[in-house]
Structures are given as structure tokens and as C-alpha cells.
Amino acid sequence: MRTQSMDTSPEAERVQIELLRKASPAKRFAIMEAWSQFLIEANKQSVRRNHPDLGEEEIGLIFVANNYGQALADRLRSDLARRKA
């Protein structure tokens, strides 16, 4: 059987899946929330490396553009500018 991850053995994956199946809905949600936060921060760190001269607001806007589309990033930029005015 082929695993979902190239660096995980079939037995390890079976154990992981079984642990997830036994976890409560709250625990599963907490795991997914932590994983999502990790991925967001990893993505933003990549943007920071590629654009070391930008501030956090611009980093956030690039993150939004990359993940949710330029149109949303443009609307967000306009809203932020309006709030500052």
C-alpha cells in the first residue's frame, strides 16, 4: 500500500490514522487549527525571505494575494487605507 507521505512508512501512517479516528472532534479541530496556523506562518516566512524590505502589513497582503487572490488583497489594501485616513 502506498502512503500519503513519501517519508512515512505504511505502519506509521496506519497508527496516525487510527489515532485521528479515536480522537474527539475537539481534539481533531485543535490539530487542524494548529496545522493551519503552522502553514500560514511558514508561508508568511517565505514571503519575508523573498521580500526582506517589506513590513508586516505588506507581507500580509502578499499572503492574501497568494492564497485568496489579488482581488481580495486589493480590497483589503483599500480598506486598510480607508481605516488609516
Tens of pLDDT, residues 14-55:
999 999 999 999 999 999 999 999 999 999 999 999 999 999
DSSP assignment of 9-55: -HHHHHHHHHHHHHS-HHHHHHHHHHHHHHHHHHHHHHHHHH-TT--
Please state the pTM of the whole predicted model: 0.72
